Amino acid sequence: MKKIIITLAFAVISMAAYSQTYTKIVVNGDTLLKRVYTPITDTLKRKDIKAEINMLKASKQANLESIDILKALNDKHNARLIILNALLLKTD
């Protein structure tokens, strides 16, 4: 049992070490190691992310098409507001 736990601990530590990379930075002759974290993304999550991206792109395209309709509706509302404000001023 002890060997299994030690082996699993070694595997977990190795996986964590493998997912991190270090870059060497030299400043005024001194050497620094900067740790760069690279997250591991499983393929199921990647599929979900790609599906969400495609859904957002489709939604954005639909919004762009409906903007023209909304602009026309907004122009009609603005015209009606101008007429109502003119009538309001006329009755004062």
pTM of the complete model: 0.34
pLDDT at 54: 85
Classified as helix, coil or strand, 57 is helix
Where in the chain are the domains?
A: 1-40, 41-92
Beta bridge partners, 21, equal 36
- Cβ(22)–Cβ(33) below 8 Å: yes
Walking along the chain (92 residues) 10 residues at a time, the average pLDDT comes out as 84 69 69 66 71 82 78 85 80 62
pLDDT at 10: 80
Distance separating alpha carbons of residues 33 and 22, to the nearest angstrom: 6
Terminal C-alpha separation, the chain: 93
pLDDT at 41: 57
- Cβ(35)–Cβ(19) below 8 Å: no
